[in-house]
Structure 1
Amino acid sequence: MAAKKTPVAKADKVPTARAAGAPAEAEELAVRAGEEPWTPQEVEEARGELASEAERLKEELVASGEALDGLMRDSGDGAGDDDADTGTKNITREHEMALAANAREMLYQTERALERLDAGTYGLCENCGNPIGKARMQAFPRATLCVECKQQQERR
């Protein structure tokens, strides 16, 4: 049995033209029907959270790069290593590479969220254009899809 879809209202306000580089005003950001508009304090809180997350991820990438450099330098020096030592080094290197790739993706998503916040498109679903929902954006500030579109994406 298919779940009944609740109609989602488009944002009452469409982002207006603003000077290049000027951040969006709180009242320009999309909300779902029945939600309170964004307040300037909530926008600044979201911006601050995203900016600090971006800085943390950049630091994590620097540390991960340094760790990978060390692992790569040590990987050639396997004289006397048995198979277990070599395997451990390989697993450690692959694990560090996976962590770095994850941090790069999170940084990309975080920077995109900051760009959308400045452009006034923060909180709009990139698939259907409907508001994502203020509560969802506060819980997951990097969200780019509304719940409905995210569910459809996960079913594919």
Structure 2
Amino acid sequence: MATQKTAASDLAVGGAEEPWGDAELAEVRAELEADVARVRAELDELATDFEGLLRNPGDGAGDDQADVGNANFEREHEISLARKSAEVLRQSERALERMDDGTYGVCESCGGPIGKLRLQAFPRATLCMTCKKKQERR
């Protein structure tokens, strides 16, 4: 568990927002740390499943094309889930790092405040709403 290096009240907030309170930031940190633990467990389970599949892929004898196609679809789906989980893990760890170094709440694109309410709703956010909308339009 990372130690909090920056005071909650020193983190960026939107113009009309109250500064972060210690309890508010602790709640967001706990949520992110729980996400990290959950996703790591998911990825470990997926890795174990993949290892088992690689050790015993089956010989394919007697499988028709539908069975093979279904198995390939399921494997691709699991790989896609693993990629998404790995991205959530990366984002959550990055948010915790930003809390520690004092940049949590600062938009990585324009340098303005992301907004405390936005971060409470989506703790992994790295862009303010204006920059996020611009990014989605591209």
TM-score range, shorter chain: over 0.9
- 2:135 alignment partner in structure 1: 153
Query: Aligned partners of 2:62 and 2:126: how far apart in 1?
Result: 51
1:48 equivalent in structure 2: 30
User: Gaps spanning 5+ residues in structure 1: where?
Assistant: 1-20
1:80 corresponds to: 62
Residue 80 of structure 1 and its aligned partner are, at CA, apart by 1.3
Higher relative contact order (CA 8 A, sep 6+): 2
> Which 5+ residue runs of structure 2 have no aligned equivalent?
none
TM-score, scaled relative to structure 1: 0.83
TM-score, scaled relative to structure 2: 0.94
In the alignment, the residues of structure 1 paired with residue 4 and residue 86 of structure 2 have an alpha-carbon distance, to the nearest angstrom, of: 27
Give the structure 2 partner of residue 140 of structure 1. Answer: 122
Cα distance in 2, alignment partners of residues 22 and 41 from structure 1: 12
Counterpart contact for 1:57–1:106, Cα < 8 Å: yes
* Deviation sequence 1:99-156 (CA, Å, 0-9, x none): 0010000000000000001011001000000000000000000000000000000111
Which position in structure 1 is the counterpart of 2:50? 68
Give the aligned partner of residue 86 of structure 2.
104
Mapped pair 1:114 → 2:96: yes
Separation in 2 of the partners of 1:96 and 1:77?
21
In structure 1, how many angstroms separate the alpha carbons of the residues matched to 2:44 and 2:76? 17
Query: What is the percent sequence identity of the aligned residues?
Result: 54
Q: CA deviation at 1:26?
A: 0.7
**Distance change (3 Å), C-alpha of 1:43 and 1:125:** same
For 1:56 and 1:42, the matched residues in 2 are separated by 21
Distance 2:69 2:57 in 1: 11
Alignment partner of 2:113 out of 131, 135, 145: 131
Q: Aligned Cα RMSD in Å?
A: 1.3
Larger CA Rg, structure 1 vs 2: 1
